[in-house]
Amino acid sequence: DVKVTQSSRYLVKRTGEKVFLECVQDMDHENMFWYRQDPGLGLRLIYFSYDVKMKEKGDIPEGYSVSREKKERFSLILESASTNQTSMYLCATIGGLSTDTQYFGPGTRLTVL
């Protein structure tokens, strides 16, 4: 089974702090994605990556950046956290033999005070 882990389940940060959300997958998948989930808005794509050191903007990249230095790890960075970035953040992967199904991590619920 594909395993996707996220570094924290719950995180509380203060406005202006730099925040790192880490996602690690153990299946050698090429493609990784970061979404945020908000009530009534569903899942919105922030950034995705096809390969190491490659990244593409999704639908709502403003205020975020990403890093993919190793194939198994995809980091989401909030350069200066703001209260409107309080949300559930979900990481997902695609790759290997199943090139159509996205597999998700457990999510990180971030609160910015």
Partner 1 sequence: AQSVAQPEDQVNVAEGNPLTVKCTYSVSGNPYLFWYVQYPNRGLQFLLKYITGDNLVKGSYGFEAEFNKSQTSFHLKKPSALVSDSALYFCAVRDIWNSGNTPLVFGKGTRLSVIA
State the residues that interact with partner 1 by CB under 8 A.
4, 9, 30-31, 33, 35, 40-43, 45, 48, 50, 58, 90, 92, 94, 99-107, 109
Q: Which is nearer to partner 1, 51 or 80 (CB)?
A: 51
Q: Which is nearer to partner 1, 33 or 64 (CB)?
A: 33
CB of 80 to partner 1, least distance (A): 26
CA angle 97, 101, 104 (to 5 degrees): 115
**Residues 46 and 55: beta-carbon distance below 8 Å:** no
- Residue 67 to residue 54: CA distance in whole angstroms: 8
Residue 102 identity: Q
